[in-house]
A and B are shown apart, each in its own frame.
Chain A
Amino acid sequence: MKEKIPRVPTGIKGLDEMLGGGLLKKRHVLVTGGPGSGKTTFAMQFLYNGAEKFGDKGLFISLEEKSEKLVENLSQGFNWDLEKHLREGNIVITTVDKFDWDTLTDMLQSYVTRHKVRRVVIDPLTILRLNTRDTFEFRRKLIGLLGFLENLDCTVLLTSESQSLTREASTYTLEEFVVDGVIVLYNIPVRNERRRALEIVKMRGVAHSNNIYPFKITPKGIVVYQEEII
């Protein structure tokens, strides 16, 4: 048998169990869902747990929200000591002017090779697609970037905004074909309320759970209820 690829635990309660330990090290995963489905929360929790529990440095490239606003929002919702990790440089939040690919990659390269960042988030990747000439060019650049990052010692989490609340096979996007794994976050109306749920749609090289599990966003962050099936 081949040597097992080491895992990078997300530290999200219930999810690591579904994944059989965590994400695959040096691979990339896409977290997709509608607006407010919890993508940004998920992504930051991945970095926060990385710094807090596993001693991994993290880089958050925020393409939609300004860094200060993002920190402000997260500090309101969650009792994480994010400020401490920002101060100590364990987590860095930054953006890229005009979503310029070269600068994005130059910066990523510096953070990974020089500052030894081990977890990277790009939130949301979708904005880069809007700012790239055509789909072919976007695909070429994305494959290049992910291939490059795979050779470095870091695990990448990308987010993408999807329109529909539920999904059908026809709604697969280009990003979903390129990445190693896809996690979908749902926020489904059930009678007079919305229920959140999570599904691992694809995870190359992982024997993952195929069920859709409910999750809640709590002051501690996302908690997946692995015992309850939706």
Chain B
Amino acid sequence: MQAQAYVYHIGMHLDPKKLSKISGLKKVDGLELFEKSIGNLRIQVFLNGEIRAFVPGKTINELKEVLIVSGVKIVELLEEIKKQGYKFDVEEVFKNGHQMDFTYETPEGTRVKLKNEVAADLLKELIYSAHDIMPEFQAERNSVQAGENIGRRLVRIYKPKNTDELADAIVKYFKEQKIGIVTYKTKKDEKESNMKMYTFRVDECAVASGIPLVNKPVCHITRGLIRGAFCQFLELENVAVKETKCWGLGDTYCEFLMKVFPK
């Protein structure tokens, strides 16, 4: 999917109290999100410092034409935000505006009451229903891709400095999303002396908990997530993750072994 929106990044977290002081910028009812409309151009300000501009129903090319005329309004808004005591280069932020990538993230402030509380039944149904309508191989690949997308994103969000911090980020993510309780152990890799092998244990996994024995591991999404996170952080592709324990295999928790293998 392609986002038909433009995005500007201020590069810092914004305080809702300060945003509410800016004239013309309205807080969306019930959310921690601020909006401004200029004609049919809508501008949204997110607490993570992201500003989105779009015109409902218009494509990115049509939007670009609108922005040629209304771009100055965005610069004015940036100036207003800056006046609230934030240090950034307005011109730079405006210049670096670009077509937004489609995102599956749930930015802070857009689900104020429910946050990232997950409906385990719904999640499971979405994952397993793929098996009803497409070949098993494809269905599994779909889960791996979802996991990988999340895993790579974790590196951007948590900015870990080493692989232990990366593993901690995975633990934290599972906790925040309420999709499992993760613990991990490390071991030295005898073959690759400068690399560690990680064993992740997932209790109360949202994907597998309670499923009957199927004699194969089913948490492709978690496998993809761990692999994606390490690939992104290490800037490598030769990372292998194997699910060694799973409800699907008759275990009551899931376990994953991660190692970097020689090219």
List chain A positions with a Cβ less than 8 A from chain B.
67, 92-97, 100, 102-103, 105-107, 109-111, 113, 115, 144-145, 147-148, 151
Q: How far is the CA of A67 from the CA of B223 in the complex (A)?
A: 26
Q: What distance in Å separates the Cβ of B212 from its nearest Cβ neighbour in chain A?
A: 22
A94 to B260 Cα, complex, angstroms: 13
Q: List 5 contacting pairs A-B, 8 Å CB cutoff, sorted by A.
A: A97-B259, A102-B242, A106-B144, A106-B224, A147-B137
In the docked arrangement, what's the CA distance between A115 and B223, Å? 20
Q: Which of A100, A115, A144 contacts B242 (CB 8 A)?
A: A100
A102, B223: Cβ atoms under 8 Å? yes
Chain B window 150-162, contacts with chain A (Cβ cutoff 8 Å), 1 for yes, 0 for no: 0000000000000
Contact of A147 among B135, B148, B238, B242 (CB under 8 A): B135
Q: Is B77 an interface residue (CB 8 A)?
A: no
Say yes or no: is B263 at the interface (Cβ < 8 Å to chain A). yes
The reply to whether B261 and A97 form a contact with Cβ atoms under 8 Å apart is yes
Note all chain B residues with C-beta closer than 8 A to A97.
238, 240, 259, 261-262
Complexed CA–CA distance, A148 and B137 (Å): 7
Rounded to whole angstroms, the CA-CA distance of A163 and B238 in the bound complex is 32
Query: In B203-248, which residues have CB < 8 Å from any A CB?
Result: 223-224, 227-228, 231, 237-238, 240-242
Total chain B interface residues with beta-carbon distance under 8 A:
22
**The 9 A-B residue pairs with the shortest CB-CB distance in the complex, in nearest-first order:** A144-B137, A97-B261, A103-B240, A94-B263, A67-B263, A107-B237, A110-B237, A148-B137, A148-B141
Interface string of B127-145 (1 = CB under 8 A from A): 0000000011110010011
Residues of A within 8 A of B227 (CB): 106
- Nearest Cβ on chain B to A59's Cβ, whole angstroms: 9
Write the residues of chain B forming the contact surface with A, with a CB cutoff of 8 angstroms: 135-138, 141, 144-145, 148, 223-224, 227-228, 231, 237-238, 240-242, 259, 261-263
| B-chain residues with CB within 8 Å of residue A100 when the two chains form the complex | 240, 242
Secondary structure type dominating chain A contacts: helix
- Please judge, given known A-B contacts A144-B135, A148-B137, whether A94 and B144 are in contact too, CB under 8 Å: no
Instruction: Point out the residues of chain B lying under 8 angstroms from A113, CB to CB.
Output: 145
Whether the Cβ atoms of B141 and A109 lie closer than 8 Å is yes
Is the beta-carbon distance between B262 and A95 smaller than 8 angstroms?
yes
A160–chain B nearest beta-carbon distance, Å? 21
Give the residue of A103, A107, A110, A148 whose beta carbon is less than 8 angstroms from that of B138.
A148
Q: Could you tell me if B238 and A107 are in contact, using CB atoms closer than 8 angstroms?
A: yes
Which B residues are CB-close (under 8 A) to A111?
237
* Contact call B262/A109, Cβ cutoff below 8 A: no
A92 vs B135: C-alpha distance when bound (angstroms)? 29
**CA–CA, A148 and B139, complex, Å:** 10
Return the chain B residue nearest A59 by Cβ: B237
- Does B145 contact A94, Cβ atoms closer than 8 Å? no
CB distance from A89 to the nearest CB of B (A): 11
